[in-house]
Amino acid sequence: MLRPRDRKDLAVTEQRQPSTSPVPAPGGTARLAGRAVARVGYGVMQLERAGVSRDTALALLRQAVAAGVNHLDTAQFYGPCNELIRAALAPYAEGLVLVTKVGAERDASGALVPAQRPEQLRAQVEANLTALGTERVDVVNLRRVDGRPGIVATGDQVVDLDDQLAELTALRAAGKVGAVGLSGVTAAQLGQALPAGIACVQNLYSVLDRDAEPVLGACREHGVAWVPFFPLGGAFPGRPKAGDSPVIKAAAADLGITPGQVALAWLLGRYEQTLLIPGTASPAHLAENLAAGDVTLPPAVTAALDNLTATEDHQ
Ligand SMILES: NC(=O)c1ccc[n+]([C@@H]2O[C@H](COP(=O)([O-])OP(=O)(O)OC[C@H]3O[C@@H](n4cnc5c(N)ncnc54)[C@H](OP(=O)(O)O)[C@@H]3O)[C@@H](O)[C@H]2O)c1
């Protein structure tokens, strides 16, 4: 379990420790790195958005944990997010699973750039440990940047996967990393990495974007946890959003729930080892997303969504 680095941290944060009284896990639980986590977690990336105040961010993190979330997804390159997690939640409750990712960093101008070389991965793990105020981070996802979406590796940033896994498994053996996951990978890369022990895969995937379906299939085959990012379509313009889809909106209206809840419930139904990390900077949206864990879609709605493609839905 995560431990604060020193007593000084405890003194600073003791007053802020959220209640650890048991509340039902949103969406029930699944296994991640040998731990039971709520199937609806919280991705903290939206907290780096301009206009989200520190007080709002701290309150959102505490709201999530108080509501039963014990899986937070972060990254050092999400600006202030790690420090916010530490300020809101350290000393960390037993059972809280912190997941970070490595493979990119901010350059001097603030732009996100690949940082794929093994020594860069190690430096990023250390930076995460320092910012989170812990001696071990539960899961570290290796974010590959072989192709879009997002930044793409060129030159000396094109690094052999086995060399990266050797570095991360050495960090795991040293106790700094609890488990290793992958992000932005193909099914073949997952197969290549499996002998190293892979806790989860985090790829772009949603009801409106199924390109990663073969990777989900490989996760099912090997019992690896599946953590789709952009589960609602993300915040970036130009990507299909659950809330803009006429088919999803109609299903939501019929069921008396929101389009986002339909999209999240569909993902949960896809595979029992799916773990959600929807991102939001809104307390109301956070509550809504966690409540999606209680939704079971009727088979006819699931079938209609199974057959939906973003292209058809927006014609
Ligand atoms: N591995 C990777 O490469 C990678 C890449 C990107 C993200 N991630 C992880 O995945 C997590 C989720 O991704 P994301 O936050 O970018 O995308 P997302 O969860 O699909 O969508 C977030 C967007 O949806 C809005 N939203 C959230 N809940 C809503 C609701 N109930 N109703 C209406 N709108 C809602 C948010 O705005 P509001 O703030 O207004 O609610 C925000 O604009 C991130 O936090 C991050 O941890 C990983």
Q: What is the mean pLDDT of each run of 10 residues along the chain (315 residues)?
A: 34 39 91 97 96 97 98 98 98 97 97 98 98 98 93 97 98 98 98 98 97 98 98 94 95 98 98 98 98 98 89 50
Q: Does 228 contact ligand 1 (Cβ within 6 A)?
A: no
Q: Please check whether residue 61 is in contact with residue 13, taking contact to mean a CB–CB distance below 8 angstroms.
A: no
pLDDT reported for residue 149: 84
Q: What is the pLDDT of residue 1?
A: 37
The CA 44 to ligand 1 mean position distance, Å, reads: 8
Cα gap 109→106, rounded to integer Å? 8
Nearest to 284 by CA among 63, 135, 4: 63
One DSSP character per residue, 202-250 reads E-B-BTTB-TTHHHHHHHHHHT-EE--BSTT--SSTTS--GGG-HHHHH
Can you give the pLDDT at residue 21? 55
pLDDT at 50: 85
Q: Which residues make Cβ contacts (< 8 Å) with residue 146, sequence separation at least 6?
A: 152, 153, 184, 186
Helix or strand (DSSP H, E) at 270 = helix 259-270
280 ligand 1 Cβ < 6 A: yes
- DSSP characters for 21-84? ---PPTT-EEEETTEEEESB-EEGGGGGSTT--HHHHHHHHHHHHHTT--EEE--TTSTTHHHH
Residues recognised as catalytic: 78
pLDDT for position 313: 58
Distance 229 CA to ligand 1 centre (A): 8
Residue 235 CA: nearest ligand 1 atom is 43
Q: How many helices (H) and strands (E) does the chain have?
A: 12, 11
Enumerate the β-bridge partners of residue 225. Answer: 200
State whether the beta carbon of 282 lies less than 6 angstroms from ligand 1: yes
Q: Whose CA is nearest to atom 15 of ligand 1?
A: 279
Q: Is 100 in the pocket of ligand 1 (CB under 6 A)?
A: no
What is the structure's pLDDT at 6?
A: 34
Q: What is the pLDDT of residue 5?
A: 33
Nearest atom of ligand 1 to the alpha carbon of 288: 31
Relative to the CA of 233, which ligand 1 atom is closest?
Answer: 20
